[in-house]
Chain A
Amino acid sequence: MKRFPEYYTFWNIIGHYGLRVTAFLVLVFLMLPILIIMPLSFNSQPFFTFTEGMLSLDPEAYSMRWYQEIIDDSNWLLAIRNSFIVGTIAAFIATVLGTLAAVGLSSQWMPYKRLITAILLSPMIVPLIIIAAGMFFFYTQFNLVGTFTGLIIAHAALGVPFVIITVTATLSGFDRALFVAGLSLGASPVKVFWDVVIPLIRPGVISGGLFAFVTSFDEVVLVLFLAGPEQRTIPRQMFSGLREQINPTILAVATLLIVLSAALLFTLEALRRRSARIASGE
């Protein structure tokens, strides 16, 4: 039994446990839909429910059948490949542009800082459907609809705000005297930027890039508007899969995605911590 302070009344104790139970229930509410998918994806039957065999833990009721189906289906393979290509390139572009923008915006001589920041962050605030519609009409002028270039540019634009936010946050802790010191030691401004500024803001750059990648990876609205069949990505494939052929393949893909995102998140977080440690010089 936990010892409470002596002044605790009965209701204080109820409140104490009540808070814990509520917090736990909220966690279950958030996680259950994600976790439930995992066992279901090993269903040997083409249903979205737990069969009797599954509930009694009969090995016969489980199978890798739906995973096999992903590998055999060229549509899925194409979608997975596309998602990675588009996500990686878009995240790279967003990281470069966002970092440069954040560095510029943190300069004390930058005019109209607030206005420019607001414009650059707008893709995060404006409803996606509006961006998608606008881009669709804009892209038709340049024959970018239904091309990888178009989709990558669009996703990069969505990712930029995340990079700006994370990099600006790390830059706010950056001591400008370090830049000045670098110059005084004889390094050119560009060299100081690479040797001193980048290593110190790397944690922010990494998290920003990660956010940009994930944004592109699970984005479906812009894909629906701008991508042709050649550019279908995983979310797009899942979307059509839901309507056309309802079978647990989708669950298998979802499980893979969950595992992948978790792995990605842990790896990059570890990377980010490592560079944060280096940057702090401890």
Chain B
Amino acid sequence: MNEIRPDTFLRFDNVKKSYDQKSLVVKGFDIDVKEGEFITLLGPSGSGKTTVLMMLAGFESVTSGNIAIEGKSINKTAPNKRNIGMVFQNYALFPHMSVAENLAYPLTVRKLPKGEINDRVAKYLKLVELSNFGDRRPGQLSGGQKQRVALARAMIFEPALILMDEPLGALDKNLREQMQFEITRLHKKLGFTVIYVTHDQTEALSMSDRIAVFNDGVVQQCAPPSELYERPINAFVADFIGENNFVLGKVVSIEGCTAKVKTDTGTITTQTAAGLAVGNACKVSIRPEKLFIHPTTHAHENSLDVTFNTRIYVGDFIRYYFKLPNGTDVVVKVLNDLSAPEFDDGASAKLLSLIKNCIAFPIS
């Protein structure tokens, strides 16, 4: 059990979940969330992230462990008594009620006076910029409008915690970006705590204060977006977040937090990940945008000899595909400017990188 920080608002303590009493879907989840934080649970489908959310909302029971809000366990609190707002992927608006009635519902349930309900509905409709839509039914709204109503409905009873289960999954790309902005804006303005579930990493990286990367029921890493991207703790995170190249090799020596790794194309100096030992087989991750094609004005410490395979024109940048001598593909992203070079098929080239951008992970 960890030390309880004084500013902890929500705390998961070794929470486990099993549906069949045999295999664990969530294998010991720990997290301390500060008030007002935007936490994203990110992971492939079936990784247990939605189960964590459902346990927090109370729609799934906790097999073992403890969930506490402001120091009080909520394991035995009924879902309707938890005072947690929730936004669903398919909006879950009540189709037989108007937009205003949908918003008023949580307030009616709490038996607020009629006048206050009307005031608050008007206020929140204005907040999500749907003031003229109060009389419409959800069936008459577009996807983005529905999601804004769903957001307003989850916020209107002023819960300290709002859960979002892939809320933008059903929207198209443009609308999704717009809604990301909208959610961030409301979060900043109203200061509630958000637990957000998604499998879309762009969404996670651009919105969150911290991201917990799930795989196989276990949190692989929980860190702010930049740390997750720049300093992934293991090969899964390195591969799952963003794009990555992996070069296989063998650890020759370790000095402090750098290691020398012998690969087919020579020795690379790298950062070390936890669990790396001399003599181990390892894979070195290098992001496609952190590799430069020789000649370059960028500073560099490592070099890889490769042969050119193909280049793909994407628009704002160009993707180069090279091959290592052992046949592994290496992708390099180059900004589409004057320095983007041309190659003949099979031409040999040199790729350069910095030590801080190469991380060696042990192969388990």
Question: A185-B153, A186-B157, A187-B80 are contacts. A178–B92 as well, Cβ < 8 Å?
Answer: yes
Closest to B79 in A: A183
Interface: B14 (CB within 8 A): no
Stretch in A11-19, A161-169, A192-200, A214-222 with 4+ CB within 8 Å of B:
A192-200
Interface: B48 (CB within 8 A): no
Closest to A176 in B: B92
Contact B109 A280 (CB under 8 A): no
Interface: A127 (CB within 8 A): no
Contact B95 A279 (CB under 8 A): yes
Inter-chain CA distance A189–B80, complex, in Å, is 8
Count of interface residues, chain A, beta-carbon cutoff 8 Å: 23
Interface: A188 (CB within 8 A): yes
Inter-chain CA distance A199–B97, complex, in Å, is 10
**A144 to nearest B CB, angstroms?**
41
Contact B139 A281 (CB under 8 A): yes
Closest to A282 in B: B139
Kindly list chain A residues whose C-beta atoms are within 8 Å of the C-beta of B81.
186
**Interface magnitude class on chain B:** 20 to 34
Interface: A73 (CB within 8 A): no
Chain B stretch 148-179: residues in CB contact (< 8 A) with chain A: 153-154, 157
Cβ-defined partner of A181 (8 Å) among B58, B83, B92, B137: B92
B interface vs A, CB < 8 Å? 57-59, 79-81, 83-86, 88, 90, 92-96, 105-106, 109-110, 137-140, 153-154, 157
Pull 30 A–B residue pairs with CB atoms less than 8 Å apart, ordered by A: A175-B90, A177-B90, A180-B57, A181-B94, A183-B58, A183-B59, A183-B80, A184-B84, A184-B86, A184-B154, A185-B106, A185-B153, A185-B157, A186-B80, A186-B83, A186-B110, A186-B157, A187-B80, A187-B109, A188-B80, A189-B80, A195-B94, A199-B96, A200-B96, A278-B96, A280-B95, A281-B93, A281-B96, A281-B140, A282-B140
**Known pairs A187-B105, A280-B95, A281-B140. 12 more at Cβ < 8 A?**
A175-B92, A178-B92, A180-B92, A181-B92, A181-B94, A182-B94, A184-B84, A184-B154, A185-B106, A189-B80, A278-B96, A279-B95
